[in-house]
Amino acid sequence: AQKITQTQPGMFVQEKEAVTLDCTYDTSDQSYGLFWYKQPSSGEMIFLIYQGSYDEQNATEGRYSLNFQKARKSANLVISASQLGDSAMYFCAMREGGTGGSYIPTFGRGTSLIVHP
């Protein structure tokens, strides 16, 4: 079974509008971390936002917010006021416990976002 599922291969949004990128995850751990990364066409992965499994408030970082619904195992990324520079691949990732107390990361397949002028 996939640990991270991103069901939207591609999304289109008009500049200045908001867009939601979906992510569901699968873990039996109680303690885990959820991340979103952006990968522009240049290829370098850029960290956007983090949500801990025990955090009660949804994380926000500037125009990015994470809609965390723990019971549904959902961690959707919301980008407000989209900009042309937001066009990129977006990856949802999770860190869950491995051996020896270390947390091991897993990435989803990604969603391609295109922002139209």
Partner 1 sequence: EAGVAQSPRYKIIEKRQSVAFWCNPISGHATLYWYQQILGQGPKLLIQFQNNGVVDDSQLPKDRFSAERLKGVDSTLKIQPAKLEDSAVYLCASSFGTSKRETQYFGPGTRLLVL
Q: What CA–CA distances, in Å, run from 112 to 38, 41, 53, 94?
A: 10, 10, 26, 19
Q: Facing residues of 66 across strands?
A: 77
Q: If binding is defined by CB under 8 A, does position 36 make contact with partner 1?
A: no
Please measure the distance between the N-terminal and C-terminal CA atoms of the chain and give it in whole angstroms.
38
The single residue listed with the structure tokens 């290829």 is 43
Residue in 66, 68, 89 with CA at minimum distance from that of residue 10: 89
User: Which contiguous run of DSSP H or E holds residue 93?
Assistant: strand 88-97
Establish if 109 lies at the interface with partner 1 (CB under 8 A). yes
Determine which residue in the list 7, 14, 31, 60 makes contact with partner 1, applying CB under 8 A: 31
Choosing from 75, 95, 113, 115, the residue that interacts with partner 1 (CB under 8 A) is 95
Residue 117 Cβ vs partner 1, minimum distance, rounded to whole Å:
26
- Which of these ranges, 14-22, 69-77, 79-87, 101-109, lies near partner 1 under the rule CB under 8 A? 101-109
Q: Which is nearer to partner 1, 57 or 102 (CB)?
A: 102
When asked if residue 98 is in the footprint of partner 1 (CB under 8 A), the reply is: yes
- Residues interacting with partner 1, by CB under 8 A? 4, 31-33, 35, 37, 42-47, 50, 52-53, 91, 95-110
